[in-house]
């Protein structure tokens, strides 16, 4: 049965307008995004098939173009639209963070970093530069590549902090493997950067490891 043949009170689009997007399931939200299905397969059916195939909404959104297009009814156009929506969400989050009065809470920084880094297929080391009121000044990707094979130069982070006149920083890198546990190298790097930046009176508020849905906060674990 086509969605247009459903009672109006059951149609995802009408329910979203009437009751809000938060009341819809992942399947219903995807169906609205897909808009159309295939002959004999509604948008709801297509959404259910995609979620079943990938196992979760997160894996669907992280899929490569080739993986995405393996589902009959999904192609480059829908893939492009999906990633445009994801990027809009990231940029909206960035604007919120820039306008937020305080970014010192673990949850606020974590949510922002997960939005930016959780789905990256490569390892990256980024720094959030904050002012004296813990408001975001800039988000800079400082290094890219496996940290054990990439030389993280403290002088570059110090130079950028001075350029932005930052009072504090939040360090972050991701583990594409999905395991958020810090390595000994991660701990040594955190201690070294904290020590170097403290000489410039710049405080390291936290160091996050982002691993998909999971994360590790050095501050929350008393490791700073």
**CATH number, residue 198:** 3.40.140.10
Shared-domain flag, residues 82 and 120: no
Tell me whether residue 211 is in a domain. Answer: yes
Shared-domain flag, residues 160 and 59: no
0.75 surpassed by pTM: no
Mean pLDDT value across residues 200-208:
92
Residue 116 has pLDDT above 70, yes or no: yes
Shared-domain flag, residues 76 and 161: no
Shared-domain flag, residues 22 and 69: yes
Tell me whether residue 189 is in a domain. Answer: yes
What is the domain range of residue 121?
102-217
DSSP letters for 19-63: H-GGGS-HHHHHHHHH---BTTB-HHHHHHHHHHHHSSHHHHHH-
**Predicted local distance difference test score (pLDDT) of residue 170:** 93
Tell me whether residue 62 is in a domain. Answer: yes
Residue 203 host element (H or E): strand 203-211
Interatomic CA distance for residues 47 and 52, integer angstroms: 9
Residue 149 has pLDDT above 60, yes or no: no
Return the percent helix, strand and coil in the chain, to nearest 5.
50, 15, 35
In the chain, the number of structural domains is 2
Residues 6+ apart with CB under 8 A from 134: 102, 103, 104, 168, 205
The edge-to-edge listing of strands for the beta sheet with 203-211 is: 136-144, 124-130, 168-174, 203-211, 214-217
Residue 204 has pLDDT above 90, yes or no: yes
Tell me whether residue 97 is in a domain. Answer: no
**Predicted local distance difference test score (pLDDT) of residue 101:** 44
CB 50 within 8 A of CB 79: no
Shared-domain flag, residues 116 and 140: yes
Kindly state the greatest CA–CA separation across the chain: 68
**Predicted local distance difference test score (pLDDT) of residue 148:** 52
Nearest CA-CA partner of 50 in 66, 71, 79: 71
Shared-domain flag, residues 74 and 118: no
Question: How many other C-beta atoms lie within 10 A of the C-beta of residue 125?
Answer: 20
Least confident of 18-32, 144-158, 181-195: 144-158
Least confident of 21-25, 47-51, 69-73, 99-103: 99-103
Least confident of 53-57, 107-111, 180-184, 186-190: 107-111
Confidence of residue 182 (pLDDT cuts 50, 70, 90): confident
Residue 17 has pLDDT above 70, yes or no: yes
**Predicted local distance difference test score (pLDDT) of residue 10:** 67
Residue 120 host element (H or E): none
Mean pLDDT value across residues 82-110:
71
Interatomic CA distance for residues 172 and 162, integer angstroms: 19
**DSSP, res 71:** S
Mark which of 57, 88, 119 sits at the end of a domain.
Answer: 88
Residue 85 host element (H or E): helix 76-99
Considering only residues 21 and 99, tell me which one the structure prediction assigns the higher pLDDT: 21
Q: In whole numbers, what is the pLDDT of the chain averaged over residues?
A: 82
Mean pLDDT value across residues 22-40:
83
Least confident of 8-17, 95-104, 172-181, 215-224: 95-104
In the numeric block, the tokens 């994801």 are attached to 86
**CATH number, residue 49:** 1.10.150
Shared-domain flag, residues 129 and 210: yes
């Amino acid at each position: 049965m086509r969605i247009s043949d459903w009672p109006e009170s059951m149609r995802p689009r009408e329910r979203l307008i009437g009751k809000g997007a938060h009341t819809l399931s992942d399947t219903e939200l995807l169906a609205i995004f897909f808009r159309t299905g295939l002959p004999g397969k509604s948008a709801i059916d297509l959404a259910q098939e995609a979620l079943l195939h990938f196992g979760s909404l997160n894996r669907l959104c992280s899929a490569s173009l080739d993986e995405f297009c393996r589902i009959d009814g999904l192609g480059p156009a829908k893939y492009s639209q999906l990633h445009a929506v994801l990027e809009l969400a990231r940029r909206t989050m960035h604007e919120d963070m820039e306008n937020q009065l305080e970014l010192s809470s673990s949850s606020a920084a974590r949510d922002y970093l997960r939005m930016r880094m959780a789905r990256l297929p490569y390892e990256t080391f980024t720094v959030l530069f904050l002012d004296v009121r813990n408001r975001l000044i800039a988000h800079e990707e400082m290094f890219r590549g496996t940290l054990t094979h990439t030389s993280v130069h403290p002088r570059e982070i110090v130079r950028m902090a001075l350029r932005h006149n930052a009072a504090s920083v939040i360090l972050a890198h991701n583990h594409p493997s999905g395991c958020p546990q810090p390595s000994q190298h991660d701990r040594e790097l955190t201690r070294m950067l904290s020590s170097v930046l403290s000489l410039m009176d710049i405080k390291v508020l936290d160091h996050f490891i982002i691993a998909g849905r999971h994360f590790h906060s050095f501050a929350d674990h008393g490791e700073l």
